[in-house]
Amino acid sequence: MAAVEFTQIDHLGIPVWDADGAAAFYEHAGVSVVIDETLDEYNIRAVFLDIDGVYVEFLEPTGPGNVKTFLETHGPGIQHVAYRVPDIAQAVVALRDAGVEFKSDEPMAGAGNSEIIFVEERYTGGLQVELVERHD
């Protein structure tokens, strides 16, 4: 199996009902919003704050979907951890060769000019894990 390289934690995904309200606390601490994007295909607004190279991502639902369901079931809180990889296609092949399955067949477009894919939780001890390749 080819090695999979997680280069850093990319972000913590945190569903909230009000992304602006959640971001305001961090902005008072001098942390700026670096990405504010509505992703209609996922019914979310994604607001990213950069804390020394690791993002905090507030996910605000804009319609039905996973984020709204998470909030209705669990309330606000960490939903997933995303790990940055240098080559998402290579990471997917390597993990599939090791028997790992994903929630989608292929990586898809993510916020902030990225490609993402989510790992099935049964391989991660129940934690939702996202792989991210950034195209800065």
- The answer to whether 102 touches 93, Cβ cutoff 8 Å, is no
Q: How confident is the model at residue 124 (pLDDT cuts 50, 70, 90)?
A: very high
Cα 38 from Cα 25, distance rounded (Å): 21
Q: Closest Cα partner for 132 from 120, 121, 112?
A: 112
**HEC sequence for 28-83:** HCCCCEEEEEEEHHHCEEEEEEEECCEEEEEEEECCCCHHHHHHHHHCCCCCEEEE
Tokens for 7? 């280069």
**What are 55-112's pLDDT values in tens digits?**
999 999 999 999 999 999 999 999 999 999 999 999 999 999 999 999 999 999 999 9
- List all residues 6 or more positions away from 29 whose beta carbon is below 8 Å from its beta carbon: none
Mean pLDDT over all residues of the chain?
95
pTM reported for the whole predicted model: 0.91
Q: Residue 3 — pLDDT band, cuts 50, 70, 90?
A: confident
CB 38 within 8 A of CB 63: no
Residue among 62, 31, 56, 52 nearest 112 (CA): 56
What pLDDT is stored for residue 136 in this prediction?
A: 80
- Which tokens sit at 20? 């602006």
- Confidence at residue 2, expressed as pLDDT on a 0 to 100 scale: 60
